[in-house]
Amino acid sequence: MADAGLPTGWEVRHSNSKNLPYYFNAARKESRWEPPEGTDVDILKAYMAQNTRKPEGKIRAAHLLVKHKDSRRPSSWKEQDITRTKSEAIDILKGHEQRIQSGEVSLGDLAQSESDCSSARKNGDLGFFGRGEMQKEFEEVAFGLEPGQVSGVVDTASGVHLIQRLE
């Protein structure tokens, strides 16, 4: 196997359910989404570029979700009973959008602490998805973005989102 820049005992595996790579250590029976401490990030990037490829017809995106009381499920990992109005959720999201656009913070870093979606633990990364797999409003915007581009406010039944196309 080619050198992935990982510490001894670690290997890159692929999650079929998330369609994302993860890191596994058989001796410790440990898996994780983030590279383990001691990883040579430059070697890992080169390895991933050479050994992973985008599934045909799919894109990869991350998002930051702010739910409101009229969302399909007005609760999250952060807040059991969400009571904010849709207008308040949009104002919160616009504040996040300004911070991202100014370069103060990345969408992924902000998603970790501010997103109401469980994808927050993966910097908002939703993995690869194709047409028909996401809510229509979300999908239309995500497929219309160029890699690296961040959307404005997107309204869906789940709440309001900022979307960043990753690949």
Query: Which of these is catalytic: 15, 135, 151, 164?
Result: 135
Between strands 154-156 and 125-129, the pairing is unpaired
How far is residue 132 from each of residues 91, 119, 120, 139, measured CA to CA in Å?
29, 19, 23, 8
Active site residue 96: no
Active site residue 158: yes
Query: Which of these is catalytic: 71, 115, 158, 164?
Result: 158
Query: Which of these is catalytic: 63, 68, 96, 119?
Result: 63
Token representation of residue 69: 């009381």
Active site residue 106: no
Q: Is 91 exposed, middle or buried (0-12, 13-18, 19+ CB in 10 A)?
A: middle
**DSSP string over 7-57:** PTTEEEEEETTTTEEEEEETTTTEEESSPPTT--HHHHHHHHHHH--PPTT
Query: Which of these is catalytic: 68, 71, 161, 164?
Result: 161
Query: Which of these is catalytic: 71, 76, 117, 151?
Result: 117
Catalytic positions, written as ranges: 63, 117, 135, 158, 161
